[in-house]
Structure 1
C-alpha cells in the first residue's frame, strides 16, 4: 500500500499524530517564523498555524512561544524537537530504497565550502573504501546544512554549533580572509586587519554564515551592515561594491569570483570546521565517515592542481 507523505493537515485526532505533523513542526522550529515555514512547505500560513495548534493540543504542552515576532521554542518545544528529528530521520532511513540502511546513500550536507581543500580527497577515498555506501555531498543554505530538518545524515559546518540533539567533532581550523571588491582600494593591500574594515559596510550571511559584528573589537566595528541569505548573494553584493565580507580561507579557494579579491586577515580568530551528526538516529556509516575525515584532516593541505 503506498505511503502518503502529505506535509500538513488541519485535522488530527488525539490518537492520530502523523509524520507530516512532525515535518511541519521541524520547519517552524528551523525558520522561527510561520510565514517562512509555510513557504518552505508550499502551504498557507493558516494551515501551518492550525497544524501547530493541533500538535500542541495533542501533546498537551505549548511548543512555541508566540509572544514575539520571531517565534521561539519553549523548553518543551526544544525537547520535542530532538525527538521529532530522530523520528523523522528513522522513518526516512526505514523507507529509503537500495537494500537497507547500510546501502542507502550517506548524505553529507554543507552550507558552503564543504571540507575545503580536503573535499576531493574525502570523496575519492570514500568511494574507494566504501563502494557499498554512496556519499552524496549536498549544499543546503541553513545553519545546520539541512541536518535538523532531516535532509542530510551528517554535515560539515563552520563555527560553533550549539544545538540540542547534535553531536560535533572539530576536524581542523581555518584562517579567515577578507573578501573585497576587486576595484576597491583595500584590494590593493596584501594583508588587512579587522580595524581596516571598520569604515566599510559588512555584508553578513545571516542564514548560513558565521560572521557577525561580534567578530570585531567593540571600538572597531563596521557601522553599517547588509544582510544576505546565501553565499551566492554574498559574493554578488561584494562584487557590486556594496560592502566587504569575512569568511574562511576555503571560501577563497572554492568560491572564486572575478569581482571579489580575498586577502589574509591574520588578527581574526580561526574558524573551526566541524563534522556534525544526530547521535539519536545516525546513519550506520557515520563512524566510518568520522574516522576518514579525521585521518584526512591530519594530513598536509593538498596543493591545487594546474
Structure 2
C-alpha cells in the first residue's frame, strides 16, 4: 500500500467525484481511477460505489477512510518535521474565505505570509463557490480546506473549532429621502414592512439578521440578494430597498444614511475555523500564528 494510493482514495472520498479528485491532485482522471483500482485489488475489497451521479464509500471504504487520513497526517507531520529542521515550511495551504471580511485585509495577510513562507502554495476558495459559511465549514470537515474565515452565529459544529477575530455592528443603510433617514437611530420594530437587500441564506450577515428578526417575532421581506457588501450600498442608493450592512459600509458624507439599530444584537462575527479532530499542517499552524499576531 502506497501513500499515493491512499491520497487518491481520500481525495475521491472527500470530493465524491473522480473528476474533482483529479483536479485537486493535479492529475488526469484516468490516473486516479487506475490508482483506486490498484488499491482495491491489493485490499481485495471494493472501496467505492460508483453511481451515475456521485461516488459513495462502501462499508470497507468507510472503515478505511479514517485510517487512511491518519497515515497521510503522519506522513505530512514527518515531512513538516524535516522541513522545520531545514528551516522552512512547505506544502499547500487551502484557505476558505467569505466574499467580504470587513476590516480584515486578507491580501495583506497573504502577502506577509508569502514573504515569510515562500515555499507554501496558497489556494483560496470563496464562500460564493462553496455556499456561504456553512459550505466553507462543510469543506473544512470533509478535508477540502485547511482553514476558513467564516461567520456563523452560535457555537461551532462537531469536529470544528474556531477562534473569533472580530465583531462588527450591522447598521441600517437607507437613501436620504427614506422615512427613517432623519433619525439618529432606529428601533428594530420600525423596520417592519421594509424591503431588504441582503445576502443569500447561509451567509454570515444574513444569519445574524434572520436570527434577530425571528427572536423578535418580526417577518422580513428580502427583495434582492447580493454576494458583495459594496453591491448592497449600490442597490440602496438606487432605491431598491434598505440594507443592514457592516458599520462603515456607507462612508461619512456619502449619499447614503447609516443608522445604528437599537434593541437587537446585530453584531457580525468573523472567525478563523479549523478542524478539531485532526492536527493542522505546519503551513496551517504558521498562518494561524500570523493571524494571531496581526489580528487578535
Structure 2 residues without counterparts, runs of 5 or longer: 18-50, 78-82
The answer for the alignment partner of 1:123 in structure 2 is 110
Report how far residue 261 of structure 1 moved. 5.2
Structure 1 residues without counterparts, runs of 5 or longer: 5-16, 26-45, 62-78, 95-99, 299-306
Contact 1:102/1:284, CA 8 A, preserved across alignment: yes
Give the distance between the partners of 1:195 and 1:284, measured in 2 at CA: 49
The answer for the alignment partner of 2:194 in structure 1 is 200
3-state SS of paired residue (1:199): coil
Give the distance between the partners of 1:109 and 1:248, measured in 2 at CA: 20
Contact 1:147/1:154, CA 8 A, preserved across alignment: no
1:223/1:138 Cα in 2 relative to 1: closer, same or farther (>3 Å)?
closer
Give the distance between the partners of 2:176 and 2:60, measured in 1 at CA: 57
3-state SS of paired residue (1:230): coil
Give the distance between the partners of 1:83 and 1:179, measured in 2 at CA: 48
Higher helix fraction: Structure 1 or Structure 2? 2
Correspondence list, 1:1-306, <5 A: 19-24=11-16, 47-48=52-53, 51=54, 55=56, 58-59=58-59, 102-114=89-101, 116-119=103-106, 121-135=108-122, 137-141=124-128, 142-144=132-134, 146-149=136-139, 150-160=143-153, 162-181=156-175, 184-204=178-198, 205-209=200-204, 210-216=207-213, 218-219=215-216, 221-226=218-223, 228=225, 230-231=227-228, 235=232, 238-239=236-237, 241-249=239-247, 262-265=258-261, 267-269=263-265, 270-279=267-276, 280=278, 282-298=280-296
Largest Rg, 1 or 2: 2
Contact 2:136/2:150, CA 8 A, preserved across alignment: no
Give the TM-score normalised by the residue count of structure 2.
0.57
Give the TM-score normalised by the residue count of structure 1.
0.56
Give the distance between the partners of 1:219 and 1:136, measured in 2 at CA: 41
Report how far residue 274 of structure 1 moved. 0.7
Instruction: Output the aligned Cα RMSD.
Output: 4.6
Deviations, residues 94-148 of structure 1 (Å, cap 9, x unaligned): 9xxxxx9942343332223226244455334334433333555543222246353
Report how far residue 167 of structure 1 moved. 1.9
1:83/1:276 Cα in 2 relative to 1: closer, same or farther (>3 Å)?
farther
Report how far residue 168 of structure 1 moved. 0.7
Count of aligned residue pairs for this structure pair: 232
Deviations, residues 22-80 of structure 1 (Å, cap 9, x unaligned): 4238xxxxxxxxxxxxxxxxxxxx822xx46xx36x2299xxxxxxxxxxxxxxxxx99
Report how far residue 293 of structure 1 moved. 1.7
3-state SS of paired residue (1:207): coil
Give the distance between the partners of 1:234 and 1:168, measured in 2 at CA: 28
1:133/1:18 Cα in 2 relative to 1: closer, same or farther (>3 Å)?
closer
Report how far residue 290 of structure 1 moved. 2.0
1:211/1:59 Cα in 2 relative to 1: closer, same or farther (>3 Å)?
same
1:135/1:224 Cα in 2 relative to 1: closer, same or farther (>3 Å)?
same
Contact 2:101/2:270, CA 8 A, preserved across alignment: no
